[in-house]
Amino acid sequence: MTEVHFNKVAIIGVGLIGGSLAMVLKAKGLCDTIVGIGRGKENLETAKQMGLIDEYTHDIAEGVQGADLVVLAVPVMSIEGVVKRAASSFKTGAIVTDVGSVKEEIINTVTAHLPEGVHFVAAHPIAGTENSGAEASVKDLYVGRRCIITPTDKTDKAALDKVVKLWKLAGSEVVTMDAREHDIILAAVSHLPHVIAYALVNSIADAGKGMERDVISYSAGGFKDTTRIAGSSPDMWTDICQMNKTALVGVIEGFQAELEAIKVDIEADNTELIKRSFERAKKVRDSLKK
């Protein structure tokens, strides 16, 4: 197994995801120095005091100079702007990687701006907590979690190998797949449930409008579980919806067809069909852990 070691790592966006990766790099001795790049001074100062990074800058072009690994850990919609500003400063031979929850669009965007000889490896660690910012970083965030890496025909094999090893060293189960496949899977198991949760809360709020009573106050555990993720960041989820538009619209339409079929069966008193549909769902759901 090739040794994984970087002289200088630049982490753009030292939040929960970037900061926790910095912890891994430090703890495993995978690099000599880490520079944190971001806009908020307070967060970067915290990161430095926590020992996640050795130094920081607000200047992206300056920060990436000489780095042999650059981690794009900013919100997905900010990636293009960041890469544009860094493009002419990347070291030849540098590896650029990301942590975004959408892959095809990011690959297209990033590779369009990267100079010859700079290698992009797209990655998505499926991890997170309810907290954010550098101070939320934890060293075992990635342990036992999947990290999906989505190489293309053009991905540099040595760079891919290093990024795979990095995530394995972080404790992740690394899965390699096509970017489009990643986007469909994530649209299904993550992006669609978020859109549904937001839509459900709004439709209940609407249903209650004509009533004197506070309809939502009658909600019990089921509604609360089902809509918990409607408390997620509207900015982040708006971005993801935009970036993963094609796959997301596809799974929304699959869901719409399923719901419409149940509605039609309810209207037509097709109780056997309704029951079979519910039984099928229960069987699948019961196969997952709580």
Decide: is 143 part of the binding site for its own copies (CB under 8 A).
no
40 vs 193 by CB, closer to its own copies = 193
- Closest distance of CB 168 from its own copies, Å: 18
- 118 and 71 Cβ atoms separated by less than 8 Å: no
153 vs 267 by CB, closer to its own copies = 267
- Closest distance of CB 18 from its own copies, Å: 19
Which residues within the stretch 199-228 sit at the binding site for its own copies (CB under 8 A)?
199-208, 211, 213, 215-216, 218-220, 222-228
- Closest distance of CB 221 from its own copies, Å: 8
- Closest distance of CB 76 from its own copies, Å: 13
27 vs 249 by CB, closer to its own copies = 249
Among 51, 81, 115, 231, binds its own copies (CB under 8 A): 231
- Closest distance of CB 227 from its own copies, Å: 5
Stretch that binds its own copies, among 45-53, 82-90, 149-157, 275-283 (CB under 8 A): 275-283
Burial 260-283 (b: 16+ CB within 10 A, else e): eeeeebeeeeeeeeeeeeeeeeee
49 vs 203 by CB, closer to its own copies = 203
158 vs 249 by CB, closer to its own copies = 249
Decide: is 42 part of the binding site for its own copies (CB under 8 A).
no
- Would residue 222 be called left, alpha or beta, if left means φ above 0 and alpha means ψ between -120 and 50 degrees? alpha
SS (H, E, C) the chain: CCCCCEEEEEEECCCHHHHHHHHHHHHCCCEEEEEEECCCHHHHHHHHHCCCCCEEECCHHHHHCCCCEEEECCCHHHHHHHHHHHHHHCCCCCEEEECCCCCHHHHHHHHHHCCCCCEEECEEECCCCCCCCHHHCCCCCCCCCEEEECCCCCCCHHHHHHHHHHHHHCCCEEEECCHHHHHHHHHHHHHHHHHHHHHHHHHHHHHCCCCCCCHHHHCCHHHHHHHHHHHCCHHHHHHHHHHCHHHHHHHHHHHHHHHHHHHHHHHCCCHHHHHHHHHHHHHHHHCCCC
Which residues within the stretch 48-77 sit at the binding site for its own copies (CB under 8 A)?
none
Decide: is 81 part of the binding site for its own copies (CB under 8 A).
no
Decide: is 167 part of the binding site for its own copies (CB under 8 A).
no
Decide: is 287 part of the binding site for its own copies (CB under 8 A).
yes
Stretch that binds its own copies, among 35-43, 45-53, 104-112, 259-267 (CB under 8 A): 259-267
Stretch that binds its own copies, among 12-20, 52-60, 154-162, 193-201 (CB under 8 A): 193-201
Decide: is 144 part of the binding site for its own copies (CB under 8 A).
no
